[in-house]
C-alpha cells in the first residue's frame, strides 16, 4: 500500500523538480558576446564609415570600446537570420501584397523619389520592413550557395558607424563590443595614414530591385568604393568569400618602386576551423594581357605577403589577391596597401639597453631616412616598434629589443673557440652571421654548479637568422645544444627559430657558446642579440580571457598562465595593482609546479559605466626577499585549426560589471 502511494505521488514530485529547473533556467545568464571579425578592419584618420562586427551572441548591442583615443562608434543595427519557419512566414506575408507592389510598378505618375516610401508603407501593413525582406534574400542566397560554409560562430552581425578623429594616432587598436550580456573579446583594428577604399561587394541588397519595382537608376555616390583604377598610394579593405579572387587595376610609371603589403593573418591571427589556421593570402601582379610579373605568398617567415616590383615601363597593371587554396568566408578580411611607399626591412643593431641611447641604421626601400642618431630608448625593458621615413610617408614598423643589461658588439675573428669574445655577465652581444660558413664564439664565466641561460633574439625581431646554440665547458666538451626553442610567450609565432638554453655550469663556472645558422644562410641582415645571464628565474605571465564579465558584488574568474621559460618550478605570488575600491584578489599565488591557476576576484557592488582596466603583477620571493617581478600580460587563448593553442597578448584586461540578464 505504501509502495502504491509512493507511485501515485511520483508525478507531483517530478512536477516540482520541473518547476525548479524552469526557474533555474530562467535566471541563467546568457553567453557573453564573441566576435570573429570586423570589416573593414581599419580606416583613415579623419574619416567616417560603416563597419560590421561578425560573431555570436551579439543581441542588444549598445556600445563599442576601442583602445586609445580618437575613435567613436555608433551602433546602427543587429542582424541575426531568423529560423526557417520565420523566413517562410515572411515570404507568405510578402505574397499577400504582390498585386499592390505591381500597382506601384505600374504607377507611371509616381515620382521616383516617392517609390521607396510607398514600398515601405505597404510592407508595414503586413508587419514587414526592409530588414525582414533583406533577411529573406540573405537566407535564400546562403542556403543555395554550394561553396558557402555556414558557421554559427560568425552568423550574427552588428552594423556600426565609426568616426576616426583627424590626427588620431596611426597603428593597431583593439575593438570590443558591449551588449546587454557583457563585453566581447577584442579584435584588431588599424588606423592608417593613407587614403582608404573598400572593395565593391559582390552582393548589395536593393529593396526596390528585389521586389521587382523599377526606380531611378542607382548611383553609387560613395567615392571610397573601388570602381576603377586605384589612385596610388592607397589602402584597400576587402574580404575573400568562397573561391573568390579579388582584382584591382592601377597605373604606374617606369622606375616606380611599387610595394604591395598585405595585412590578413595579422588581423585575425587564428581560425579554429580552417586549415591552414589563418587566411593565407596570396598576391600577384600582372600586366593587362594577363602575364604575371611578380608573386608573393609570404614575407620571409611572416604569412602576410609583401611584394616588391620596379615598374619597367609606363602602363596599367592588375593586382590579384586570394587564399592560397581558394577558401573564403566573411572572416577572411584583409587590408592591402599599394604604392611607391617606404618599407623597412631591417634595423641595426636589433636593440639596446633600457634608458640609454642607440644609433640606428635602417635598410629597406623608398627610404629617405637611413640613419637615426642617438635614438633614446624607454626605461622599461620590452620589445618596441620602430618606423623610418620616406618621401611618401612613414614606413612599416619592425621590432626593437630593449633590455636592462649592459651591451657590447661582436668583434669579428671569433670563428673558433680559441678566439672567442669575452662577455661580462649579465650581458648582451649584438652580432651577425655575415658570411658563408660564419660561426661566432663567446666566452663567459659565472657561478659554478648554477644554471646559466643563453638566449637568441633574432627571428622575433625580423631577422631571417635560424639560430642554433652550442655550449661547451672550459675543455671544449659540448654540454648543451638547442636549435628551436618553443617559446609559448610569443603568441603569434608558429616557427620558433630563436634558440635558447638553460644549463647547469661546471664547477669552475667557465663555458663557451657558439652561435650559427641552422640552414647555413648568411648576410648582413642575419643579425642577432645573444643574451647571457645567471640569476632570477625567467617567467612570462599571461591572463586569459582579456574581457571579464561580472555581476555587482560578485566574484569574477580568469586564468593566469605561468610560462616557465628556464625551468623555475617554485611559487609565484600575485598582487593587484592600482585597482579602484571594491576589487579584491582572492587567489594570491600560482602554486609550485603549476602552469596555471584559476584566479578569483571580488568586484565592486555597483555596475560600471565603462569597463575597468585591471593590472596584476607576479613576484618570486625567496626567504622574504623579492628576487624577480613580472607584469601579468592580458591575452586571448586561441586555437589554430584544432591542432594547438596559442596565448596571444592583447591590449588590456577589462572588467565589465552589470546586472545579470536572463537568457533569451
Beta bridge partners of residue 78, listed in sequence order: 158
Which pLDDT score, from 0 to 100, does residue 108 have? Answer: 52
Is residue 247's pLDDT more than 70? yes
For residue 650, what is the DSSP state?
Answer: -
Same domain for 543 and 529: no
Is residue 2's pLDDT more than 70? no
Same domain for 237 and 126: no
536 pLDDT band, cuts 50/70/90, is: confident
Which pLDDT score, from 0 to 100, does residue 21 have? Answer: 40
Which pLDDT score, from 0 to 100, does residue 14 have? Answer: 38
Give the relative orientation of helices 112-124 and 98-106 as an angle to the nearest 10 degrees: 170
15 pLDDT band, cuts 50/70/90, is: very low
CATH assignment at residue 166:
2.60.40.10
| 8 Å CB contact between 516 and 621 | no
Is residue 110's pLDDT more than 80? no
Same domain for 356 and 464: no
**Assigned C-alpha cell, 589:** 599565488
Beta bridge partners of residue 625, listed in sequence order: 622
**Which of 175, 208, 241 is a domain's end point?**
208
Same domain for 261 and 113: no
Which pLDDT score, from 0 to 100, does residue 206 have? Answer: 86
Same domain for 237 and 204: no
Which helix (H) or strand (E) element contains residue 128? none
Query: What are the pLDDT digits (tens) for 35-52?
Result: 999 999 999 999 999 999
Q: Which of 351, 455, 457 is CA-nearest to residue 407?
A: 351
624 pLDDT band, cuts 50/70/90, is: confident
Question: Taking residues 344-370, what's their average pLDDT?
Answer: 94
Is residue 8's pLDDT more than 50? no
**Which of 301, 323, 341 is a domain's end point?**
341
Is residue 128's pLDDT more than 60? yes
| pTM: predicted TM-score of the whole model, two decimal places | 0.89
Is residue 25's pLDDT more than 70? no
Same domain for 64 and 192: yes
| 8 Å CB contact between 188 and 171 | no
Integer CA distances (angstroms), 479 to 98, 492, 538, 564, 657, in order: 84, 31, 21, 22, 54
| Gyration radius of the chain's alpha carbons | 30
Buried b (16+ CB within 10 A) or exposed e, 256-279: bbbbbbbbbbbbbbbbeebebbbb
User: 375 in a domain, yes or no?
Assistant: yes
280 pLDDT band, cuts 50/70/90, is: very high
* Least confident among 292-306, 391-405, 434-448, 482-496: 482-496
Question: Taking residues 26-34, what's their average pLDDT?
Answer: 69
Same domain for 412 and 391: no
| Three-state DSSP class for residue 148 | coil
Is residue 216's pLDDT more than 90? no
Same domain for 280 and 309: yes
Question: Rounded to whole angstroms, how far apart are CA atoms 77 and 341?
Answer: 37
User: 443 in a domain, yes or no?
Assistant: yes
Burial of 466 (0-12, 13-18, 19+ CB in 10 A): buried
User: 382 in a domain, yes or no?
Assistant: yes
| 8 Å CB contact between 278 and 268 | yes
Query: What are the pLDDT digits (tens) for 582-623?
Result: 999 999 999 999 999 999 999 999 998 899 999 999 999 988
What rounded mean pLDDT belongs to the chain? 90
Same domain for 434 and 354: no
**Assigned C-alpha cell, 168:** 588620431
From its phi and psi, is residue 610 left (phi > 0), alpha (psi between -120 and 50) or beta? beta
- Which residue's entry shows cell 551588449? 179
Question: Rounded to whole angstroms, how far apart are CA atoms 480 and 483?
Answer: 11
223 pLDDT band, cuts 50/70/90, is: confident
Same domain for 528 and 431: yes
Share of the chain above pLDDT 70, in %: 92
| 8 Å CB contact between 544 and 558 | yes
Question: Rounded to whole angstroms, how far apart are CA atoms 485 and 497?
Answer: 7
CATH assignment at residue 525:
2.60.120.380
Which pLDDT score, from 0 to 100, does residue 664 have? Answer: 57
Rounded to 10 degrees, the C-alpha dihedral 27/33/34/35 comes to 160
User: 317 in a domain, yes or no?
Assistant: yes
User: 1 in a domain, yes or no?
Assistant: no
C-alpha dihedral sign at 120, 124, 130, 134 = negative
Query: What are the pLDDT digits (tens) for 511-524?
Result: 999 999 999 999 98
- Which residue's entry shows cell 636592462? 404
* Least confident among 201-210, 219-228, 370-379, 567-576: 219-228
- Which residue's entry shows cell 636549435? 483
User: 662 in a domain, yes or no?
Assistant: no
**Which of 315, 341, 367 is a domain's end point?**
341
User: 322 in a domain, yes or no?
Assistant: yes
Buried b (16+ CB within 10 A) or exposed e, 95-107: eebeeebeebbee
Share of the chain above pLDDT 90, in %: 74
Peptide bond into 213 cis (omega under 30): no
Same domain for 204 and 78: yes
Number of domains composing the chain: 5
Q: Which of 146, 154, 150, 190 is CA-nearest to residue 170?
A: 190
218 pLDDT band, cuts 50/70/90, is: low
Which pLDDT score, from 0 to 100, does residue 663 have? Answer: 62
Question: Taking residues 8-24, what's their average pLDDT?
Answer: 40
106 pLDDT band, cuts 50/70/90, is: low
Phi/psi at 476 (5° precision) = 85, 10
Which pLDDT score, from 0 to 100, does residue 274 have? Answer: 82
Integer CA distances (angstroms), 31 to 28, 59, 276, 551, in order: 9, 10, 28, 14
Question: Taking residues 530-537, what's their average pLDDT?
Answer: 92
* Least confident among 46-55, 102-111, 324-333, 430-439: 102-111
Query: What are the pLDDT digits (tens) for 467-491?
Result: 999 999 999 999 999 999 988 888 8
Is residue 104's pLDDT more than 50? yes
Is residue 242's pLDDT more than 50? yes
User: 543 in a domain, yes or no?
Assistant: yes
287 pLDDT band, cuts 50/70/90, is: very high
Q: Which domain holds residue 318?
A: 231-341
Same domain for 359 and 336: no
**Assigned C-alpha cell, 120:** 515601405
17 pLDDT band, cuts 50/70/90, is: very low
Question: Rounded to whole angstroms, how far apart are CA atoms 465 and 530?
Answer: 12
Amino acid at each position: 500500500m505504501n509502495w502504491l502511494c509512493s507511485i501515485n505521488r511520483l508525478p507531483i514530485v517530478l512536477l516540482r523538480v520541473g518547476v525548479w529547473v524552469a526557474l533555474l533556467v530562467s535566471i541563467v545568464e546568457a553567453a557573453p558576446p564573441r566576435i570573429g571579425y570586423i570589416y573593414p578592419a581599419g580606416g583613415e584618420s579623419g574619416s567616417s564609415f560603416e563597419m560590421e562586427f561578425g560573431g555570436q551572441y551579439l543581441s542588444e548591442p549598445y556600445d563599442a570600446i576601442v583602445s586609445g583615443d580618437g575613435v567613436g562608434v555608433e551602433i546602427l543595427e543587429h542582424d541575426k537570420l531568423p529560423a526557417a519557419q520565420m523566413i517562410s512566414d515572411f515570404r507568405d506575408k510578402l505574397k499577400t501584397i504582390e498585386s499592390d507592389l505591381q500597382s506601384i510598378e505600374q504607377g507611371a505618375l509616381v515620382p521616383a523619389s516617392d517609390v521607396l516610401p510607398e514600398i515601405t508603407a505597404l510592407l508595414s501593413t503586413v508587419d514587414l520592413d526592409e530588414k525582414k525582406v533583406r533577411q529573406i534574400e540573405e537566407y535564400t542566397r546562403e542556403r543555395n550557395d554550394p561553396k558557402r560554409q555556414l558557421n554559427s560562430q560568425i552568423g550574427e552581425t552588428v552594423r556600426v558607424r565609426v568616426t576616426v578623429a583627424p590626427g588620431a594616432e596611426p597603428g593597431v587598436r583593439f575593438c570590443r563590443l558591449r551588449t546587454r550580456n557583457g563585453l566581447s573579446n577584442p579584435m584588431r583594428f588599424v588606423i592608417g595614414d593613407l587614403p582608404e577604399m573598400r572593395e565593391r561587394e559582390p552582393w548589395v541588397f536593393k529593396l526596390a530591385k528585389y521586389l521587382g519595382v523599377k526606380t531611378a537608376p542607382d548611383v553609387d555616390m560613395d567615392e571610397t568604393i573601388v570602381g576603377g583604377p586605384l589612385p596610388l598610394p592607397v589602402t584597400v579593405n576587402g574580404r575573400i568569400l568562397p573561391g573568390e579572387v579579388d582584382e584591382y587595376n592601377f597605373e604606374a610609371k617606369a622606375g616606380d618602386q611599387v610595394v604591395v603589403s598585405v595585412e590578413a593573418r595579422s588581423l585575425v591571427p587564428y581560425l579554429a576551423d580552417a586549415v591552414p589556421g589563418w587566411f593565407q593570402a596570396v598576391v600577384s601582379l600582372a600586366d593587362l594581357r594577363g602575364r604575371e610579373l611578380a608573386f608573393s605568398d609570404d614575407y620571409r617567415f611572416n604569412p602576410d605577403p609583401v611584394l616588391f616590383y620596379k615598374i619597367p615601363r609606363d602602363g596599367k597593371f592588375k593586382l590579384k589577391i586570394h587564399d592560397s587554396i581558394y577558401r573564403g568566408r566573411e572572416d577572411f578580411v584583409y587590408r592591402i596597401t599599394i604604392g611607391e611607399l617606404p618599407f623597412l626591412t631591417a634595423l641595426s643593431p636589433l636593440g639596446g639597453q633600457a634608458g640609454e641611447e642607440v644609433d640606428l641604421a635602417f635598410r629597406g626601400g623608398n627610404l629617405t631616412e637611413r640613419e637615426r642618431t642617438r635614438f633614446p630608448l624607454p626605461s622599461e625593458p620590452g620589445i618596441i616598434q620602430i618606423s623610418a621615413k620616406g618621401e611618401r610617408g612613414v614606413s612599416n614598423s619592425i621590432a626593437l629589443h630593449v633590455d636592462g643589461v649592459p651591451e657590447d658588439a661582436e668583434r669579428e675573428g671569433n670563428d673558433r673557440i680559441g678566439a672567442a669574445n669575452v662577455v661580462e655577465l649579465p650581458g648582451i652581444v649584438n652580432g651577425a652571421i655575415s658570411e658563408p660558413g660564419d660561426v661566432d664564439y663567446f666566452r663567459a664565466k659565472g657561478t659554478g654548479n648554477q644554471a646559466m641561460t643563453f638566449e637568441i633574439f633574432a627571428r622575433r625581431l625580423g631577422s631571417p637568422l635560424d639560430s642554433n646554440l652550442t655550449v661547451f665547458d672550459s675543455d671544449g666538451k659540448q654540454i648543451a645544444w638547442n636549435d628551436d626553442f618553443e617559446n609559448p610567450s610569443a603568441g603569434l609565432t608558429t616557427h620558433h627559430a630563436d634558440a635558447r638554453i638553460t644549463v647547469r655550469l661546471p664547477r669552475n663556472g667557465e663555458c663557451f657558446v657558439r652561435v650559427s645558422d641552422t640552414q647555413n644562410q648568411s648576410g648582413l641582415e642575419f643579425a642577432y642579440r645573444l643574451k647571457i645571464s645567471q640569476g632570477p628565474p625567467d617567467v612570462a605571465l599571461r591572463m586569459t580571457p582579456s574581457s571579464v564579465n561580472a555581476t555587482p558584488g560578485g566574484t569574477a574568474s580568469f586564468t593566469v598562465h605561468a610560462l616557465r621559460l628556464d625551468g623555475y618550478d617554485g611559487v609565484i605570488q600575485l598582487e593587484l595593482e592600482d585597482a579602484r575600491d571594491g576589487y579584491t584578489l582572492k587567489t594570491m599565488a600560482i602554486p609550485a609546479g603549476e602552469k596555471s591557476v584559476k584566479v578569483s576576484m571580488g568586484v565592486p557592488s555597483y555596475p560600471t559605466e565603462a569597463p575597468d582596466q585591471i593590472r596584476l603583477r607576479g613576484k618570486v620571493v625567496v626567504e622574504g626577499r623579492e628576487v624577480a617581478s613580472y607584469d601579468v600580460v592580458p591575452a586571448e587563448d586561441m586555437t589554430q585549426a584544432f591542432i594547438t593553442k596559442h596565448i596571444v597578448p592583447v591590449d588590456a584586461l577589462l572588467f565589465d560589471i552589470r546586472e545579470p540578464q536572463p537568457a533569451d
